[in-house]
Chains A and B, each alone.
Chain A
Amino acid sequence: MRLRKIQHIRPCEISIAPLIDVVFLLIIFFMVVSQFTRVKLEAVSLPPASQGELPEEMSSRRVILNVHQDGRIINEGIEHDLLSLEQLLKMEKAEHGGGRLTILIRSDRKTSWKTVREIMQVCAGEGLSRVKVAVTEAEGQN
């Protein structure tokens, strides 16, 4: 059998336009998401612990409370005092239900216990017992 001669060999080309589209889309996605997490997570020096667990999947609503060394309580970029915190937790509880609400306290290691205790009192007052404290990986601490 005689094979037919291939008339034209088309040159192989990478189409640049869709590649750039996808890459830009990814860049914008990562930029937005990183900005979003930064708003929620303030720069605080967390206490070290060896038994910390990785956060669970986001199946339940998590309220992140950043507590600075000077006692400022910040949730999603907004500063709260104990009264407004109570209001916030009330609202969150009404919206998502108390059982599905997790409070994550990201407190600075040098914050006085009084500040954190008062936050926990507010949580307990609202009937929220799913409270977690954020820690960093301990580096060979005994």
Chain B
Amino acid sequence: MLLTRQSLKPVRPVLNIAAMIDVVFLLLIFFMCTISFEAVDKDLSAQIPQVSGDPSEESDFEPIRIELRLTEAEAEGIGSEVLVFCDGLKCSGYGEMAEMLSQRRAIADIPVIISGEDEIDYENLVRVMDICYEIGFSRVAFSAK
């Protein structure tokens, strides 16, 4: 078979720069965007009373103790509810607890200690802590005992 003269001529390879730059910039923008989305976690400061000494000891006031308990599940399929106790007094919900705390906050920035039963979902305790910070308490701690 006879090859034509044109096919024998070596073709100079060309790198298509424009397309490569498109892809590279796309990747760059993708990574720049995703990296800023990953850092949206926020923190709540959760002090823990030390084993040796309670931080509430420094205060003139007796700390407010908020306790979360679970009701007994009455029947299968009905989940147990979370009950809120503020200094031993049962509250009808987070709203009443917030009201009680607001009244105390008007007196002073009293330390608050949050405790709960083992089976309670962690988000309930964080919610109580969030409410405490929202009302204006600055010394909110989880009881690790």
Name A residues whose Cβ lies closer than 8 Å to a Cβ of B.
Answer: 16, 19-20, 23-24, 26-27, 30-31, 33-34, 37-38, 41, 46-55, 104-117, 120-121, 123-125, 127, 129, 131-138
B130 CB contact (under 8 Å) in A20, A23, A135: A135
Q: Check A49 against B45 for contact (C-beta < 8 Å).
A: no
For B34, the chain A residues whose CB sits under 8 A away are 34
Q: Check A138 against B130 for contact (C-beta < 8 Å).
A: yes
Query: A31-B31, A50-B134, A117-B118 in contact; A135/B42 too (CB < 8 A)?
Result: yes
Main SS at interface, chain A: mixed
B44 CB contact (under 8 Å) in A31, A113, A135: A135
Could you jot down 12 A-B contacts, CB within 8 Å?
A20-B20, A47-B127, A49-B127, A52-B42, A53-B43, A55-B39, A55-B42, A112-B119, A113-B122, A131-B46, A131-B48, A135-B44
Shortest CB distance B135–A (Å): 10
Shortest CB distance B119–A (Å): 6
B51 part of interface (Cβ distance < 8 Å): yes
For A105, the chain B residues whose CB sits under 8 A away are 46
Alpha-carbon distance between A27 and B28 when the two chains are bound, in angstroms? 5
Q: Check B120 against A49 for contact (C-beta < 8 Å).
A: no
Alpha-carbon distance between A53 and B120 when the two chains are bound, in angstroms? 25
Q: Check A34 against B122 for contact (C-beta < 8 Å).
A: no
